[in-house]
Amino acid sequence: MFVDTHCHISLDNVEEYASNAKSANVHIMISASEDLKSSLENVSLLDKFPSLFACVGVHPLNVNEYDDNTFYQFENLIKNKSVKAIGEIGLDYYYSKDNKELQQKVFRKFLKLAEDNDLPVVIHSREATQDTINILKEYNVVGVIHCFSGSLEVAMEYIKMGFFLGIGGVLTFKNSKLYEVIKNVDLEYIVLETDSPFLTPEPYRKFKNESKYIPVIAESLAKYKNIDLNIVRDITTKNAFHIFDIDDNSMI
């Protein structure tokens, strides 16, 4: 059984999406949120799909929509036992550099929520590595560095802090050098993710990404690490269960 630790599922096709995933032996999916609206939508699906889990939070590109007055809604959402993490949260200076202070304020707000409730965090960091690391060190949190694409040195720093690396379709891209880093990272610190509907792996780039492509990413990881696909499947699934506190009886 595979786990997709990071996807964005649309409300209008969730049944087909889940069915496609199951057919590919992807039996557990963790749907990440970008704002309050998507957080509410993700939680609304949990009772209908017992093996669908959720993260709640505000993506750094959406911090201008954040409102302190509605933060209590996030505090209520995490009471649902199928909400397994705070995310995706973090910093993004690639698209937006003029609101760094607001990004950092919102980032800290959700890190404190995670710390206070003993929940892992799912971190988005783009063009903001040092600020991300510095702020994370202010809190007693662990979790996943989503869509990791940094250097081996940065990878080791995150791992030393207690984080796992989320590896997705970028690993399969022809111009990607991510494999040079990942082949030097122990599988014990890696989880698989799609970030669907984005970053579809090769050779399916012309299609919208789905959780069903997790095995394709796993095959690429197995190739670069020169290990059996079943080992990649078993260890990355174990890692996901550990991080997100998922019972291995959970199945679609």
The predicted-structure confidence for 199-237, as pLDDT tens digits, reads as follows: 999 999 999 999 999 999 999 999 999 999 999 999 999
* Global pTM value: 0.96
In a domain, 250, yes or no: no
In a domain, 232, yes or no: yes
Q: What is the CATH number of the domain that holds 6?
A: 3.20.20.140
In a domain, 251, yes or no: no
In a domain, 10, yes or no: yes
pLDDT digits (tens, 9 = 90+) for 51-74: 899 999 999 999 999 999 999 999
In a domain, 252, yes or no: no
Contact 110, 75 (CB under 8 A): no
Q: Tokens standing for 125?
A: 């960091």
Report pLDDT for 232.
98
Looking from the CA of 99 toward its CB, the CA atoms found within 13 Å total: 17
In a domain, 9, yes or no: yes
**Domain encompassing residue 143:** 2-244
Report pLDDT for 8.
96
Looking at the structure of the chain, the number of domains it has is: 1
In a domain, 249, yes or no: no
Residues 6+ apart with CB under 8 A from 114: 85, 86, 120, 121, 139, 141, 143
CA-wise closest residue to 89 among 138, 55, 118? 55
